[in-house]
Amino acid sequence: MRVLLLGAPGSGKGTQGERIAARYRIPHISSGDLLRAHVEAGTPLGRAVQPYLASGNLVPDELILSMIRNELAEPAAAGGYVLDGFPRTVEQARVATEIDDGLDAVLFLDVPPRELVDRLAERADRDGRADDQRRATVEHRLRVYDERTRPLLDHYRRRGLLVPIDASGSIEEIADRIAAALAERSSRPADRPSVG
């Protein structure tokens, strides 16, 4: 099972990605977690991306693509994966197709904007995430998502891969909706159009 998670910051991609990974026994590849780990370790990549993460801007394509390409080349990802936080733009999605054109589903975790802001504030208090702590940064991240990432919905809808998920409610309720959607998806014959 190869699953891509799309959604605004705070939509629950990390939480649900871990659950999907555990259910299907596949790796959960979170670009955000990987980038934050590089920043904490002080690697050259971490030093390069730290200003982008702090400001709420997207990391340049060449940096993120190299990191994701390496992760998908790992033996653990050969049997499937849950990819969360990448791609973030239509341009990245086109390159991602060159890396691996075998996606089974793109789950869009749909959450009302007001709820997103509340979730991000709660996450900042709970986890101390620097990118969630300043309201101006949070609002900027949501604007960047709307401008750069939301167009991916149409991109994957045209390819027949997009599966909208109501991501309001409890973690368990959302996980149940995802499980049902993936079960339905895997039981259907492959009928998606081939669109580049």
User: pLDDT (tens digit, 0 to 9) for every residue of the chain, 196 residues total?
Assistant: 999 999 998 899 999 999 999 999 999 999 989 999 999 999 999 999 999 988 888 889 889 998 998 899 999 999 999 999 899 899 999 988 888 888 999 999 999 888 887 888 787 777 766 555 567 777 888 888 889 888 999 999 999 999 999 999 999 999 999 999 999 998 876 554 444 4
pLDDT at residue 11 in the model: 93
pLDDT at residue 12 in the model: 93
The residues with which 166 forms a beta bridge, in sequence order, are 110
Query: Given the DSSP bridges, would you call strands 28-30 and 162-166 parallel, antiparallel or unpaired?
Result: unpaired
pLDDT at residue 144 in the model: 86
Neighbours of 143 (CB within 10 A): 11
pLDDT at residue 194 in the model: 43
pLDDT at residue 131 in the model: 57
Domains, the chain, with CATH or none: 2-185 (3.40.50.300)
Q: Which of 157, 168, 123 is nearest to 141 (CA)?
A: 123
CB–CB of 162/153 below 8 Å?
A: yes
pLDDT tens-digit profile of 93-147?
A: 998 888 888 899 999 999 988 888 788 878 777 776 655 556 777 788 888 888 9
Q: Rounded to an integer, what distance in angstroms lies between the CA atom of residue 158 and that of residue 65?
A: 23
